[in-house]
Amino acid sequence: MPHRLAVYPGTFDPVSNGHIDVIERGSQLFEQLVVACAVNISKQPLFSLEERMEMLRECTADFTNVRIESFSGMVVDYVRSLSGKVILRGLRTFSDYENEVQMAYANRTFAPDIETVFVCASLEESFISSRLIREAAALDGDISRFVPEGVAKRLRSKASALKGEVKKHSEGR
């Protein structure tokens, strides 16, 4: 039986054109796509959960079969709470593949009835990561190629926080 609903989980800190690419293609593959913004206890996001969800809503407003939600805890539990059977994930690089397959196997251990479906990022978006975008923004780089304009404005408004994040990261090396 074909799956009508898929969940695309992530931190989306910030949402990038690469994320939008996966969302667009996922919206074409499934009748309904839930973009699930994670409360990730192992990450300290630059943007609050509310800000990330607002950015996602703005960036996906044209997709009639996409809705934005948030979740905490295990993604398989969240997918089950929606009566879903599919987790959608995007792949950019081989290292993404290794990490994502490991996570898919772990999810399958906890929930054998839930499948993970991978889509490869478009070549133009394959090198984009949220970390790269935050670092470029902190260094006053032109990030307009990587994120929607509304996201770029928000990143510029957090310039001092971004600079502190880059400084903290470089001191940790």
pLDDT, tens digit, 9 for 90 and up, residues 34-92: 999 999 767 788 899 999 999 999 999 999 999 999 999 999 999 999 999 999 999 88
Catalytic residue chosen out of the listed positions 130, 134, 154, 158: 130
pTM (2 decimals)? 0.87
- pLDDT value at residue 1: 47
How far is the C-alpha of 29 from the C-alpha of 153, rounded, in Å?
31
pLDDT digits (tens, 9 = 90+) for 11-26: 999 999 999 999 999 9
Give yes or no for residue 135 having a pLDDT over 90.
no
In a domain, 80, yes or no: yes
User: Is 130 considered catalytic here?
Assistant: yes
Amino acid sitting at position 99: N
Is residue 140 in a domain?
no
Split into its structural domains, the chain has a count of 1
Q: Is 43 a catalytic residue?
A: yes
In a domain, 43, yes or no: yes
Q: Is 100 a domain residue?
A: yes
- Given the residues 52, 85, 89, 92, select the one marked as catalytic: 92
Catalytic residue among 19, 52, 85, 89: 19
Mean of all residue pLDDT scores within the chain: 87
4, 43, 153, 167: which is the annotated catalytic residue?
43
* CA neighbor of 165 nearest in space, from 129, 139, 128: 139
- Which pLDDT band, with edges at 50, 70 and 90, does 29 fall under? very high
What b-and-e string marks burial along 50-77, b requiring 16 or more CB atoms within 10 Å of the CB?
A: ebbbbbbeebbeebeebebebbeeebbe
Structural domain boundaries enclosing 14? 5-125
